[in-house]
Amino acid sequence: MSKGKDVAKRAKTEDHMYRYCRVIGCPHPARAGSENGLDRRFCRRHADQYSRHGSPYKKSYTATQLKPHRKVVRAWLKRNSDHVLVKNGVQRIEGLYSRSGTHTEAFRLAGMSPSERARKAWARLRESSVSPLKVIEAWLVIGLAIEADPAPEESVEFRRVQAAKLVHRLASGTHKRWERDVPVARGSTTTQKHVTELHKYPQSRGRVLRIFGEDIEEACKLVEEAFLSVRN
């Protein structure tokens, strides 16, 4: 093949690669471009999924899926609260709390860099008096969930994002609850209580989750070694 043809062929192949979403079987075009470069490889839906869940393919674990793992981890942490590496993990997380600066309301976070927002997430946990043990619990629980998963997503990014999402939720967001009486049926005078709840947390997606997740991993690495060594 002449050099010219070879180049043309390669350009065509690359063009094809970039034109379609990288998720196998997805017929949608990749997004033309984006501010963070993450989504160029995927269609809108898969880019959004990747940003929120840490994998373009796999959804986040549900509370029900995590429940048995939580039980195991909680029991272990309770039995080992005096373990030197558990104490080490707690200290590291307290360090993240104390270095995180002033607390900032969720609605003021727009425009901040992902690393600033990750720091603010630690400040939010500190302000909500979240026990560092809960952060450790989240990291270990996600580890067990991935391990038990018959079709796991094994990238470290996925694990960081999954843990970050759990920890993110431990801090209080804005919570509202309304109760009102509504008829049990159309035109009925019998009423029942209807409760509406609104939970607003700072946006849980994108680079901030990766950075926050890396902080969690760093703080929990040694605890995890202890956890895995006694279990195996």
- 23 versus 164: smaller Cβ distance to Zn ion: 23
Name the residue nearer to Zn ion (CB basis): 22 or 87.
Answer: 22
Q: Provide the binding-site residues for Zn ion, judged by CB under 5 A.
A: 21, 23, 26, 28, 43, 46
d(CA 74, CA 138): 10
Q: Whole-number minimum distance, CB 73 to Zn ion, in Å? A: 34
Complex with Zn ion: residue 41 or 126, whichever CB lies closer? 41
* Minimum separation from the CB atom of position 50 to Zn ion (A): 10
Question: For residue 69, what are the CA distances in angstroms to 66, 74, 115, 212?
Answer: 5, 9, 30, 22
Closest to 52 in 3D by CA, of 124, 172, 158, 174:
158
SS3 state at 185? coil
Return the H-helix or E-strand segment holding 47: helix 44-53
In the complex, the smallest distance separating the C-beta of residue 205 from Zn ion, rounded to whole angstroms, is: 17
Between 43 and 167, name the residue whose CB sits nearer to Zn ion.
43
Task: Give the nearest distance from C-beta 38 to Zn ion in angstroms.
Answer: 13
Q: Which residues pair with 200 in a beta bridge?
A: 174
Taking the complex as a whole, the smallest distance from the CB of residue 34 to Zn ion amounts, in Å, to 14
Q: How far apart are CA 158 and CA 142, in angstroms?
A: 10
d(CA 209, CA 114): 8
Residues recorded for the chain: 232
Q: Which tokens belong to 198?
A: 């609104």
CB nearer to Zn ion: pick between 21 and 164? 21
